[in-house]
Amino acid sequence: MPFYVTTPIYYVNAAPHLGHAYTSIAADVIARHMRQRGEEVFLLTGTDEHGEPVAEAAEREGVTPQELADRNAERFRALMPLLEVANDFFIRTSDPRHVERVQEIMQRVYDNGHVYAGTYEGWYCPRCADFKTGNEIGPGDTCPIHETPLTREKEENWFFRLSSFQEPLERLYRERTDFVLPRMRANEARSFVEGGLHDVSLSRANLRWGVPVPWDPAQVFYVWFDALLNYVTALGFARDGEDLTATFWPASLHIIGKDILKFHAVIWPALLLAAGLELPEHLFIHGYLLMNDKKMSKSLGNVLDPLEVIERFGTDALRYYCLREVSFGQDGNVSPADFETRYETELANELGNLASRTLAMLARYRDGVVPRAELDQALAADFDGLGEEVAELIDRAELTQALERIWQRVRRLNRYVEERAPWKLAKDPAAAQELDATLRSLAEGLRCVAVLLQPYLPATAHTLLGALGAPGTDLAAARFGAGAGGEHVSALEPLFPKR
Ligand code: MSP
């Protein structure tokens, strides 16, 4: 089954921070998990390069928008391998192949009668690239997201007849209750739709940095229309000489932050309907990483640089922390101090020590070979159905929950070592069989958690499974008892050394 998952495309007017890394890591965890299930996966990420904020930032720096976009897109592109995000393509919206496809699709929307000329006047946030209405306008006509003043804008431009999709969108939310996840966000999208849809401005007259409107080249498309379409256009040119659209469209899952819910849950499905394209299967809306209770964002100046964290603690620790500390879907604070605590108590002590102890005991007591012994039945029962449970949670993008279930087993294995005290059994020749069973069960439990942790901690899982002499990472390998015994294990450097 093809599985197509996307991240939002990132604005190139700022450097990447942990908030951006977050969405990409989450999407990558899901993609890796789906690959473990043998699905044909395509993970798309990239950069959103048109629009006013980029044009303005370029002007301030005295470079062309394309030069600024080239420079900053490269920072996002280079970030992905550092995060161990294995994207299948990186789209840039200034790519002429994207531009051409946007024009084709938008021409179709125009030909289908969904566009008209009009005058727009309203409060506009240049950083959101969005006109604001009602409760989207903060105190003193400011943007509640960026806490910066809104500007009054008036212009003649093209409009998209969003209002004519009122009924189809209401039906969408009635019939497909899992179109938007988590449920709370579906309610939000639904009440937005039920509140009555207004037509939206589709183009900008006073801007050159964008995709020219094919039927009126004096204007460019409003950046959000150009940006949303990346999810479709990329499939047309991601592989030279191949069109992947038939294989991967409609997308299985768009992962986005809650600030861009309206665009993805309201405008995007309407635009697809207007273009005669199929709707994605699911949107998952995550919350914000906060610092001191405020959204981490460049404009508020409270950002963590993922590169600094990676340099000190490594990529896996960063991936783990992001998905563990803040329940995926909700907002939550992150801080360097909490990060260090989790690194030490959970990664270094609970997982790292468990792994080194297990491997050291196998080396010391059984010459580095996993005994072919009976498995501990009580421990086996605690692992029963774990792979399926994790898969079900990840199907709903409940990444923190899934990680928690795996981690419960890490803790269970630590208790198991303490309860069985293999070092005592080793002193008693009559307990040889019991020691065999204990070590085999321990190795098997560790192998299972390593397989399930692979999407979250790819490098750690690779090292650990290699040391356990059982490199298989298919989801089927996560069954307790799937390891045959008899594997040759090797010593392990600390997985999470002291920093
Ligand atoms: N370019 C648009 C998206 C277009 S998608 C067709 C955009 N870009 S962005 O760079 O501002 O944000 C990209 C993603 O990063 C969004 O999902 C946003 O929610 C996420 N985050 C940015 N800061 C964040 C946090 N502090 N916490 C969590 N995610 C945040 O919006």
- Res 221: pLDDT: 97
Residue 111: CB partners within 8 Å, gap ≥ 6?
none
Q: What is the pLDDT of residues 209-265, one digit of tens each?
A: 999 999 999 999 999 999 999 999 999 999 999 999 999 999 999 999 999 999 999
- Res 205: pLDDT: 87
SS3 assignment for 46-107:
EEECCCHHHHHHHHHHCCCHHHHHHHHHHHHHHHHHHCCCCCCEEEECCCHHHHHHHHHHHH
Catalytic residue status for 143: yes
Q: Which two tokens stand for residue 359?
A: 């491997």
Q: What is the pLDDT of residues 229-241, one digit of tens each?
A: 999 999 999 999 9
Confidence of residue 13 (pLDDT cuts 50, 70, 90): confident
Q: Which two tokens stand for residue 467?
A: 């040391």
Is residue 320 over pLDDT 80?
yes
The amino acid that residue 288 corresponds to is: Y
Sign of CA dihedral 130, 134, 140, 146: negative
Q: Which of the listed residues 7, 11, 291, 304 should we mutate to test ligand 1's pocket, taking the one with most ligand atoms within 8 A of CB?
A: 11
Q: Is 474 helix (H, G, I), strand (E, B) or coil?
A: coil
CA distance 185 to 196: 17
Sign of CA dihedral 310, 315, 317, 320: positive
- Nearest CA to 107 among 203, 214, 199? 214
pTM: 0.94
Q: Which residue's alpha carbon is nearest to atom 30 within ligand 1?
A: 19
CA distance 330 to 240: 39
Ligand 1 touching residue 48 (CB < 6 A): yes
Catalytic residue status for 264: no
CA distance 90 to 77: 7
Q: Residues 72-88: what's their mean pLDDT?
A: 97
Confidence of residue 437 (pLDDT cuts 50, 70, 90): very high
H or E, element range at 303: none
Q: Kindly state the percentage of the chain with pLDDT values over 70.
A: 100
Q: Residues 115-141: what's their mean pLDDT?
A: 86
Lowest-confidence region among 34-43, 125-134, 250-259, 403-412: 125-134
- Res 108: pLDDT: 98
Torsion angle of alpha carbons 479, 253, 183, 272, nearest 10°?
-160
Q: Is 1 helix (H, G, I), strand (E, B) or coil?
A: coil
Q: Which of the listed residues 6, 12, 20 should we mutate to test ligand 1's pocket, taking the one with most ligand atoms within 8 A of CB?
A: 20
| Gyration radius of the chain's alpha carbons | 26
Cα(257) to centroid of ligand 1, in Å? 6
The CA distances from residue 412 to 70, 149, 265, 380, in Å, are 49, 53, 41, 11
Cα(492) to centroid of ligand 1, in Å? 38
Cα(407) to centroid of ligand 1, in Å? 29
Q: Which two tokens stand for residue 338?
A: 């909490």
- Res 121: pLDDT: 85
Q: Residues 295-302: what's their mean pLDDT?
A: 80
The CA distances from residue 117 to 99, 176, 223, 317, in Å, are 22, 33, 18, 52
Per the rule left: phi > 0, alpha: psi between -120 and 50, beta: everything else, 485 is left
Q: Which two tokens stand for residue 222?
A: 């409003």
Strand stretches in 252-296, DSSP E? 253-257, 282-286, 289-291, 294-295
Q: Mean pLDDT, the chain, as a whole number?
A: 95
H or E, element range at 40: strand 40-48
Is residue 129 over pLDDT 80?
no
SS3 assignment for 383-434:
HCCHHHHHHHHHHCCCHHHHHHHHHHHHHHHHHHHHHHCHHHHCCCHHHHHH
Q: Residues 274-298: what's their mean pLDDT?
A: 94
Confidence of residue 130 (pLDDT cuts 50, 70, 90): confident
Of 98, 143, 282, 286, the active-site residue reads 143
Is residue 176 over pLDDT 80?
yes
- Res 128: pLDDT: 78
Nearest atom of ligand 1 to the alpha carbon of 256? 17
CA distance 271 to 460: 42
- Res 84: pLDDT: 98
Is residue 435 over pLDDT 90?
yes
Q: Residues 431-460: what's their mean pLDDT?
A: 98
Q: What is the pLDDT of residues 148-168, one digit of tens each?
A: 899 998 888 999 999 999 999
Q: Which residue's alpha carbon is nearest to atom 9 within ligand 1?
A: 10
Catalytic residue status for 125: yes
- Res 170: pLDDT: 98
- ∠ CA 486-490-493, rounded to 5°: 150
- Nearest CA to 456 among 315, 298, 336? 315
Q: Residues 78-83: what's their mean pLDDT?
A: 97
Confidence of residue 310 (pLDDT cuts 50, 70, 90): very high
Lowest-confidence region among 117-121, 169-173, 340-344, 471-475: 117-121
Is residue 301 over pLDDT 80?
no
Q: Which residue's alpha carbon is nearest to atom 13 within ligand 1?
A: 10
- Res 190: pLDDT: 96
Cα(8) to centroid of ligand 1, in Å? 7
Cα(278) to centroid of ligand 1, in Å? 24
Q: Which two tokens stand for residue 463?
A: 């090292």
Ligand 1 touching residue 19 (CB < 6 A): yes
Q: Which residue has the higher pLDDT, 53 or 263?
A: 263
Is residue 447 over pLDDT 90?
yes
Q: Residues 88-100: what's their mean pLDDT?
A: 98
DSSP line for 152-216: EEEEEEEEE-GGGGHHHHHHHHHH-TTSEESHHHHHHHHHHHHT----EE-EESS--SSPEETTE
H or E, element range at 477: none
Cα(288) to centroid of ligand 1, in Å? 9
Q: Which of the listed residues 5, 7, 10 should we mutate to test ligand 1's pocket, taking the one with most ligand atoms within 8 A of CB?
A: 10
Q: What is the pLDDT of residues 352-384, one digit of tens each?
A: 999 999 999 999 999 999 999 999 999 999 999
